[in-house]
């Protein structure tokens, strides 16, 4: 991505260091998130990140105080909350007033805060940001949010405020059934229709739409338990490896790697973790599989490995990158000794 000229939208000091290590210039980094710590703000200012998206007056005051301490002007945009329902899963819808995200447009709060930035000696206004949620499969909420953003930005400009950048966030959804590609063309046409005759520099933060299809989780079947109602296909991957089905009731396309015309039965595909919520799929028509057979879970490249954990002291999967026909182990699987070695037992003799 860095080689293609992309910047990075980050939400933690760790992601900042990761983006910098990948070769993304600090000036092309946008620091988002509702809860940046003072240490993270210091690091962002020390590294000269291009834009910090503030999400509250309280956070802005911390950014200002740290910039003042260092005699700097921090480049800030504000993320606004347009109170729009993204129509996605409630846990990844971020545009309504009831969520923790952004500064409400309604009631003049966003304007008061933007004025505050202009009056500060240690803040410089970079613009406005919006991100109403993830896995949006309908363009209408984007349109509403962007129209609200334009109305606000135009109004701010008419009042003499600088609004160089509009950051349009991410959120474009993918088809987890694997039938259609993300509709970048339709999204692009919408953005063009709204912004072509406007003089704003635009920022885009696509995540899932460019990453999900690049990852496949491979798991092996362990056992099948048959019952009158359904089969349980127990596999060696679990909720700790791919949390999305458990967390969001998310659907992932799953298929045996060895394709054949086997009879299908209604099956839950479950992991070995000690929770009923540990499943990769429920009620699927799935072919009977042999013990040891490899099964592919598609679209695991976004919110997959990064949300994985070592729950039940399960080593996370190795990560393999296949690029231009060459196989690279980019994250080896940890041994149990390595996992235990990361911990300190104060009572060990």
Ligand X SMILES: Cc1ncc(COP(=O)(O)O)c(C=O)c1O
Between residues 169 and 271, which has the closer beta carbon with respect to ligand X? 169
Q: Give the residue with the Cβ less far from ligand X, 170 or 215.
A: 170
| Of 30 and 273, CB closest to ligand X | 30
Which residue in 7, 127, 170, 182 binds ligand X (CB under 6 A)?
170
| CA torsion angle 283 284 290 296 (round to 10) | -130
Residue 207 touching ligand X (CB under 6 A):
yes
Site residues for ligand X, 216-245, by CB under 6 A, read none
Give 91 or 225: the residue with its C-beta nearer to ligand X: 91
**CB of 291 within 8 A of CB of 221?**
yes
By CB under 6 A, residue 209 contacts ligand X: yes
Q: How many residues bind ligand X (CB under 6 A)?
A: 14
Q: Which stretch binds ligand X (CB under 6 A): 206-214, 246-254, 257-265, 324-332?
A: 206-214
| Residue 171 binds to ligand X (criterion: CB under 6 A) | yes
134 binds ligand X (CB under 6 A): yes
Q: How far from 285 is each of 232, 282, 299, 310, CA to CA, in Å?
A: 11, 9, 19, 30
Stretch that binds ligand X, among 18-26, 39-47, 166-174, 220-228 (CB under 6 A): 166-174
Which of the residues 294 through 313 are near ligand X (CB under 6 A)? 302
- Does the active-site annotation cover 149? no
Burial of 300 (0-12, 13-18, 19+ CB in 10 A): buried
Give 44-49's long-range contacts (Cβ < 8 A, gap of 24+). 44/16, 45/70, 45/72, 45/74, 47/16, 47/20, 49/16, 49/75
The footprint of ligand X (CB under 6 A) covers: 9, 32, 131, 134, 169-172, 205-209, 302
Active site residues: 274
């Amino acid at each position: 991505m860095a080689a293609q000229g992309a910047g990075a939208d980050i939400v933690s000091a760790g992601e900042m260091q990761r983006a910098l290590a990948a070769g993304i210039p600090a000036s092309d980094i946008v620091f988002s998130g509702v809860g940046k710590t003072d240490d993270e703000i210091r690091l962002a200012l020390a590294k000269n990140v291009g834009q910090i998206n503030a999400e509250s007056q309280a956070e802005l005051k911390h950014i200002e105080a740290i910039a003042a301490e260092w005699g700097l002007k921090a480049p800030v945009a504000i993320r606004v909350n347009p109170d729009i329902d993204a129509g996605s899963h409630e846990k990844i819808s971020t545009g309504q007033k009831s969520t923790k995200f952004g500064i409400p447009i309604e009631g003049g709060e966003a304007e008061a805060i933007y004025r505050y930035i202009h009056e500060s000696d240690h803040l410089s206004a970079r613009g406005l940001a919006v991100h109403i949620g993830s896995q949006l499969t309908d363009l209408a909420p984007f349109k509403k949010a962007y129209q609200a953003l334009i109305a606000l930005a135009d109004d701010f400009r008419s009042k003499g405020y600088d609004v160089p950048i509009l950051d349009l966030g991410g959120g474009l959804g993918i088809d987890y059934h694997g039938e259609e590609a993300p509709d970048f063309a339709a999204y692009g046409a919408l953005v063009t229709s709204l912004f072509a005759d406007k003089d704003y520099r635009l920022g885009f933060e696509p995540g899932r739409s460019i990453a999900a299809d690049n990852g496949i989780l491979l798991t092996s079947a362990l056992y099948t338990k048959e019952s009158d109602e359904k089969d349980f296909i127990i596999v060696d991957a679990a909720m700790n490896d791919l949390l999305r089905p458990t967390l969001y009731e998310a659907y992932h396309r799953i298929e045996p790697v060895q394709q054949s015309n086997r009879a299908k039965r209604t099956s839950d595909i479950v992991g070995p973790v000690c929770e009923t919520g540990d499943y990769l799929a429920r009620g699927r028509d799935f072919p009977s599989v042999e013990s040891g057979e490899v099964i592919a879970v598609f679209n695991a490249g976004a919110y997959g490995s990064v949300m994985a954990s070592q729950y039940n002291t399960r080593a996370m999967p190795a990560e393999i990158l296949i690029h231009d026909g060459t196989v690279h182990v980019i994250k080896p699987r940890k041994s149990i000794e390595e996992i235990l070695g990361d911990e300190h037992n104060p009572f060990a003799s």
